[in-house]
A and B are shown apart, each in its own frame.
Chain A
Amino acid sequence: MTTENTIFTENIRILDEKNPELAGRIRDIVVPPHYTIVQARTGDPVLKIGTRTLHSLYDPRKEAILFVQHQYERTPPEKGKPLVVVGFGCGYHIEALLEKGIRPAVWEPDEHAFYCALMSRPLMHVLSACDVRVGAAWPDQETEKATVWMYRPALGDVRSGCLRNTIHTRENSPRRISGAFKQSLDIMVVSPIYGGSLPIAYSCTAALKRLGHSVRLWDASLFEKPFQKVLDLTIDGQNKKVLFDLFQHLISEMIVAECAHRRPDAVLCLAQAPISLHALQRLREAGVVTAFWFVEDFRFMQYWRTYAPAYDFYCTIQEGAFFDELRRIGVQRYRCLPLAADPEMHRPVALSDDEKTFYGSDLSFMGAGYYNRRQMFTGLLDFDFKIWGSEWDKSSILWQRVQRNGNRVTTEETVKIFNATAVNINLHSSAILSGINPDGDFVNPRTFEIAACGAFQLVDYRPVIERFFEIEREIICYTSLEELREKASYYLRNNNPRKEIARAGRDRVLREHTYDNRMRTLCAWMLQERPDAFYHKHAGRLAVRDVDSFTKEHPEVKPLLDEVAAKGWQPDLDTIVATIRSRSGPMQYPDAVFLLMKEYQALIQEHLQ
């Protein structure tokens, strides 16, 4: 056992005594490769996330003492009030506090960072002395009663979003924290009742939480059984449709009711989420931003034509022709948000010998029995080849290779299959073509998931793959059955290149293709496009209180305020400035006054800090 592991084991042992749930959670974390431990000049370990170091590279201990001294002068802890330190880093500043006889509570928003801290330093005394929380936001009612110190070096741009709960603390006046405050959203994620996008909904929820947002999953899969029961009542198509609509209406009303109660900033629906047009309209009227992630092929699933215009934001996995269609039906905000992997779910796992035997094979395929797969895989029967998943034809020659009688496979099992297989076959589905669709314009989630498991795959080539992976270095593609057979044989014979490519593919996914990446993109897009929707609830907003009297007294501002209103925004300094910046043409007199106001506001805030 290495020294680091000894340190980690000891740290986890103490954490386990104090907070077994947290210890369990941290123990299983897979840390992305951009989290590294470097050495300061004093020899002390320092956590580095990407290019950002969380402590001084000269002397982190000295820096920690200075931090405590500085904070003590600015915001001394009040008698009877607990002290909450936001940002754990490697814990140097917490140690400095303990040496002063102060036992703070600590909140670290980033689980990965906390894991690295436990790997790098013996923190047993810190863990036993302090109440440490990791991940989810600290409850409002607790932070309101506390003095909050923020250890800023440990809080990057995105992670600053976690700080919304500190809004009322003495250290941070509402004005000063407003920049960070706007980044943190209340989001409700609505899952489908069942289907391929259900695990994506779970992954999105987890990713949004990790990014510091307050998230509630509206898990429609809880209604799967009653839903099936209702649909099984009849075989009459017309009656089925009526029941389906009524069921969807009921679930939609439940979602609207919960939104009215919880007032989220945004509702994110995954493909097939059971929400009606009427419900979407009511959410819009209530000022809730709605977003939809259509993770399906637009050419085969056509329901987007009805629903897409009802959403404020529409995400797709395809571009080009789909965008033309969306534009044509009046969708204003759309963008491509490719699929991804959840590294906490899809990761390398250690398998027992029994599991290796059961799940393992030279070649395997995991997925549904679409037409092209049924055609193509008959050419692989001379390999040690297993097929997992449902919808395979029992009468086909392939059936002998279909495992578990063609039953659905859980995500946990899928991970084991990917890990146990030497060469995972990935073939994008087609209900029309007999082989590879060379014009496919999206990448399926399996591509990212296999790579995230550190497993090797052969995937059918489509140009869009080159946007996500470096072919031949991070992933291997085939364009025909012959090439698939040839490459499968080669990589079965050559273990080292297979492992090297799998490792490079996993690194790429962890770096660029996780749900964290996708959700960060989505949130940034929503904040950029609809600042009004997210500002309106927050303190620090400089709003126009009485538009009528303002425009009566200063008629020159009317066209500008009308423009703001036409965007559906509430008029305040931020939305007015955003409107001015969004258009071209010469600057008008009121434009200059509002822009000047914004500049003065920033300048004066800077002086105050």
Chain B
Amino acid sequence: MSSVLVIQLARMGDIVQAGPMLYALKHQGRARHVAVLVNKKFSSVCSLMPWIDDVHTLDFNEIGHYLLGDNADIEQAYAYLKRFYDRLSAHRFDRIVNITPHYTGIFSAFLAHCPGMRTTEDHGWPLYFRAVTRSWNTLPFHMADLYMRIAGLQPTQQYPGLIVDDDERHWAQSFLTCHACTEDDLIVGFHTGASAKEKQWPLDCFIRLGRLLLRDPRIKIILCGTDSSQDISSVLGRRCVSVLGRTTIRQLAALLMHTTVLVSNDTGPVHIAAGCGVKIITIHMGKETCFTTAPYTTEGFSVQPKLSCHPCEHPEQCAEMRCKDSIHPDVIASLVRLCCNGNGAESLNDLRAHGDSVVVYEPYRDPIGCLDFHPVTRMPLTFEAVCRCFMRYIWTETLQPQASSPHRDMKAYVGTLASAISDRYSDSLGSTADVRKLEQTLHRISALSDEGTAACSEIISHARHAARHYRELKRLAAACERVDHAIAASGTTTPPVQPLVHQYFAEKETCKENGIAALAADNMQCYRRLAERSRMLQELCREYTVCEQRQRHIPHEFNQAVGL
């Protein structure tokens, strides 16, 4: 049992998404004392997670004062940061877990480090996290699942959610009573704001949605968010109540607990709502997609525009914002009805009618316990959708320390996966030319890795008499370099293998220069891991196409009967 500092210097939603991990650290017996380092602006959300023992806050406004503006002063900035991190490091944490998706986390972890502390940044999941921050689009995990793994924890569904005190519960109850809300009412929350303009569904759409919903006399709407959001309650009439800018984070959480469903842009409060067990309809626009940042819950839906430009690379430069016109209020109204009434058939018909402009995803747990998303209505199978699942399997199998993760039966995993996917998608993976190209590339990468391994092995054998074998060593080093160039080129030409290549080079960067033999041994491990992952991905593709063919001929019931 130890004391652990978790560094999360990103936004409020990211802190809430770390909730399951923080809880598990404490309750899976991994930490006696759990402390967090967060941005002061978002620290209040930590009060909803009583399993956090200590909250350290860094004031970005104060740092900004030292670093920018007319009074900027590098000497004072240095003194301030030094003071802050020295105080933090004085707590002598036994372990630091960095889950900040930018370099501030890495440097903070370094500065809060104490002598003798266990450090895990250089291998496994923490290293993967560091590498994937350079190419977010290759991340196949939901952030909350990734955080669990970085902390060395197994996925768990034993998460109680955010905890709201009695005071806030009473406040919420009396607030609703004051506004004539009864037990029979269906309360729909609207969160119309977002941290960035490109993430906001247009206000006019919220108004049209409100009008559609208010045709049902049982529905009441609560507008939540900050006072910077525009108040549309007067437009929607007396059955719409605004609490914009009038609640603390804790009161907001208490109020959300009473809502039947929350309709929101992809922003901090959806994660609070998820922590409160509320059904959520999240609208993802601009560069946001559900796969990594949707609320961590299996309740609700994620709605995305069906556009070739989504997810957008540079939403801040887009003057079109076609994504804003793509999501029709009718779609969201149907989903709200589905959440409130369970009126599936009619709502699904509505969704099919808008199938050209929008795609609705439903969360589910994949065979290894990770959160993933299926389309609600059948759509063509994409190579990316299957690859995402494969990569989750590969990382789970190869990044975890061997002792802590039982090896899974690949056939069983692929069978379950193929069954789940074939229910939701049309077409087959095997019919795509991508698979054949991928197989060829993987075969080549495996061969290159073997070549690299052999070269490293020779280097190790010559290393003892380096001076005598100088020319030979130089030739072998050049061979390794050639292999690396070829591996990098494979990543560029075949995007699905990019994650493997990125991770390979990230691992290579950590090889320590403790003599020729040690360096070659480290490099050899990197080649071996790359070969192992390439073969695994090859095997997964092969198994999957076999499964798929089998399932097309054999009834689904049979699969269930044999446990697939």
Chain A residues with a Cβ under 8 A of chain B: 56, 58-59, 62-63, 66-67, 152-153, 175, 542-546, 549-550, 553-554, 557, 572-573, 587, 589-590, 592-597, 599-601, 603-605, 607-608
From B60, B77, B320, give the contact of A597 (CB < 8 A).
B77
Q: Are the C-beta atoms of B74 and A542 separated by less than 8 Å?
A: yes
Rounded to whole Å, the gap between the CB of A561 and the closest CB of chain B is 11
Q: Are the C-beta atoms of B320 and A599 separated by less than 8 Å?
A: no
Task: Given the known inter-chain contacts A554-B82, A597-B74, please indicate yes or no for A63 contacting B110, CB distance below 8 A.
Answer: no
Bound together, the chains give a CA A589 to CA B60 distance in angstroms of: 21
Rounded to whole Å, the gap between the CB of B513 and the closest CB of chain A is 9
Bound together, the chains give a CA A58 to CA B319 distance in angstroms of: 10
From A56, A544, A593, give the contact of B320 (CB < 8 A).
A56
B104 CB-CB contact with A under 8 Å: yes
Q: Are the C-beta atoms of A544 and B75 separated by less than 8 Å?
A: yes
Residues of A within 8 A of B319 (CB): 56, 62-63, 66-67
From B72, B79, B103, B104, give the contact of A554 (CB < 8 A).
B79
Residues of B within 8 A of A153 (CB): 317
Rounded to whole Å, the gap between the CB of B371 and the closest CB of chain A is 28
Chain B, interface residues (CB within 8 Å), range: 20 to 34
From B69, B104, B322, give the contact of A596 (CB < 8 A).
B104
Rounded to whole Å, the gap between the CB of A174 and the closest CB of chain B is 10
Task: Given the known inter-chain contacts A593-B111, A603-B104, please indicate yes or no for A175 contacting B68, CB distance below 8 A.
Answer: yes
Q: Are the C-beta atoms of B104 and A546 separated by less than 8 Å?
A: no
Q: Which residue of A lies closest to B103 (CB)?
A: A599
Residues of A within 8 A of B75 (CB): 544-546, 549-550, 553
Q: Are the C-beta atoms of B111 and A596 separated by less than 8 Å?
A: yes
Residues of B within 8 A of A587 (CB): 110
Bound together, the chains give a CA A549 to CA B73 distance in angstroms of: 14
Residues of A within 8 A of B63 (CB): 600, 604
Task: Given the known inter-chain contacts A58-B320, A596-B111, please indicate yes or no for A604 contacting B64, CB distance below 8 A.
Answer: yes
From A545, A596, A601, A608, give the contact of B107 (CB < 8 A).
A596
B447 CB-CB contact with A under 8 Å: no
Bound together, the chains give a CA A509 to CA B111 distance in angstroms of: 52
Q: Select the residue from A59, A550, A596 with max chain B CB neighbours within 10 A.
A: A596
Query: Interface readout for B61-81 with A: 1 if CB under 8 Å, 0 if not?
Result: 001100111001111011101
Bound together, the chains give a CA A62 to CA B320 distance in angstroms of: 9
Bound together, the chains give a CA A594 to CA B104 distance in angstroms of: 11
Residues of A within 8 A of B108 (CB): 596
Residues of B within 8 A of A66 (CB): 319
Q: Are the C-beta atoms of B82 and A601 separated by less than 8 Å?
A: no
Task: Given the known inter-chain contacts A592-B107, A603-B102, please indicate yes or no for A597 contacting B68, CB distance below 8 A.
Answer: no
Residues of B within 8 A of A593 (CB): 78, 81-82, 85, 107, 111
Bound together, the chains give a CA A63 to CA B68 distance in angstroms of: 33
Residues of A within 8 A of B79 (CB): 553-554
Interface of A is mostly: helix
Instruction: List 7 A–B pairs whose Cβ atoms lie within 8 Å, in order of A's numbering.
Output: A58-B320, A542-B67, A550-B78, A595-B107, A596-B81, A597-B74, A599-B104
Residues of B within 8 A of A58 (CB): 320, 322
Residues of A within 8 A of B74 (CB): 542-544, 572-573, 597
Interface members, chain B 39-90 (any A CB < 8 Å): 60, 63-64, 67-69, 72-75, 77-79, 81-82, 85
Q: Select the residue from A67, A557, A599, A608 with max chain B CB neighbours within 10 A.
A: A599
Bound together, the chains give a CA A56 to CA B322 distance in angstroms of: 12
Q: Are the C-beta atoms of A597 and B78 separated by less than 8 Å?
A: yes
Q: Select the residue from B73, B74, B79, B111 with max chain A CB neighbours within 10 A.
A: B74
Q: Which residue of A lies closest to B60 (CB)?
A: A604
Rounded to whole Å, the gap between the CB of A537 and the closest CB of chain B is 17
Rounded to whole Å, the gap between the CB of B62 and the closest CB of chain A is 10
Rounded to whole Å, the gap between the CB of A156 and the closest CB of chain B is 13
Q: Are the C-beta atoms of B104 and A597 separated by less than 8 Å?
A: no
Residues of B within 8 A of A546 (CB): 75
Residues of B within 8 A of A554 (CB): 78-79, 82
Q: Are the C-beta atoms of A597 and B81 separated by less than 8 Å?
A: yes
Residues of B within 8 A of A607 (CB): 60
Rounded to whole Å, the gap between the CB of B307 and the closest CB of chain A is 12
Q: Which residue of B lies closest to A58 (CB)?
A: B320
Q: Which residue of B lies closest to A585 (CB)?
A: B513
Bound together, the chains give a CA A434 to CA B102 distance in angstroms of: 64
Interface members, chain B 296-354 (any A CB < 8 Å): 317, 319-320, 322
Bound together, the chains give a CA A307 to CA B64 distance in angstroms of: 47
Bound together, the chains give a CA A549 to CA B78 distance in angstroms of: 13
Rounded to whole Å, the gap between the CB of B196 and the closest CB of chain A is 10
Rounded to whole Å, the gap between the CB of B226 and the closest CB of chain A is 16
Q: Which residue of B lies closest to A554 (CB)?
A: B78
Which 10 A-B residue pairs are closest in the complex by CB-CB distance? A596-B107, A63-B319, A604-B64, A592-B110, A601-B67, A592-B107, A542-B74, A599-B104, A599-B103, A550-B75
Residues of A within 8 A of B78 (CB): 550, 554, 557, 590, 593-594, 597
Q: Are the C-beta atoms of B103 and A595 separated by less than 8 Å?
A: yes
Rounded to whole Å, the gap between the CB of B127 and the closest CB of chain A is 16
Residues of A within 8 A of B82 (CB): 554, 593
Q: Which residue of B lies closest to A545 (CB)?
A: B75
- Additional pairs, 5, CB under 8 Å, beyond known A175-B68, A544-B75, A593-B81: A56-B320, A593-B78, A593-B85, A596-B103, A599-B103
Query: Interface readout for B99-121 with A: 1 if CB under 8 Å, 0 if not?
Result: 00011100110110000000000
Rounded to whole Å, the gap between the CB of A168 and the closest CB of chain B is 14
Q: Are the C-beta atoms of A600 and B110 separated by less than 8 Å?
A: no
Bound together, the chains give a CA A178 to CA B109 distance in angstroms of: 30
Rounded to whole Å, the gap between the CB of B96 and the closest CB of chain A is 13
Bound together, the chains give a CA A67 to CA B107 distance in angstroms of: 39
Q: Are the C-beta atoms of A63 and B320 separated by less than 8 Å?
A: yes
Rounded to whole Å, the gap between the CB of A145 and the closest CB of chain B is 22
Rounded to whole Å, the gap between the CB of A81 and the closest CB of chain B is 23
Residues of A within 8 A of B320 (CB): 56, 58-59, 63
Q: Which residue of B lies closest to A609 (CB)?
A: B316
Q: Are the C-beta atoms of B111 and A601 separated by less than 8 Å?
A: no
Q: Are the C-beta atoms of A599 and B107 separated by less than 8 Å?
A: yes
Bound together, the chains give a CA A608 to CA B60 distance in angstroms of: 12
Q: Are the C-beta atoms of B67 and A600 separated by less than 8 Å?
A: yes
Q: Which residue of B lies closest to A595 (CB)?
A: B107
Residues of B within 8 A of A56 (CB): 319-320
Residues of B within 8 A of A59 (CB): 320
From B72, B111, B317, B322, give the contact of A592 (CB < 8 A).
B111
Residues of B within 8 A of A600 (CB): 60, 63-64, 67, 104
Rounded to whole Å, the gap between the CB of A187 and the closest CB of chain B is 29
Bound together, the chains give a CA A58 to CA B308 distance in angstroms of: 14
Rounded to whole Å, the gap between the CB of B75 and the closest CB of chain A is 5
From A152, A599, A604, give the contact of B68 (CB < 8 A).
A604
Q: Which residue of B lies closest to A557 (CB)?
A: B78
Query: Interface readout for B418-456 with A: 1 if CB under 8 Å, 0 if not?
Result: 000000000000000000000000000000000000000
Bound together, the chains give a CA A62 to CA B319 distance in angstroms of: 9
Q: Which residue of B lies closest to A550 (CB)?
A: B75
Q: Select the residue from B63, B73, B75 with max chain A CB neighbours within 10 A.
A: B75
Bound together, the chains give a CA A51 to CA B399 distance in angstroms of: 39
Residues of A within 8 A of B322 (CB): 58
Bound together, the chains give a CA A351 to CA B217 distance in angstroms of: 85
Q: Select the residue from A549, A589, A592 with max chain B CB neighbours within 10 A.
A: A592
Interface members, chain B 365-402 (any A CB < 8 Å): none
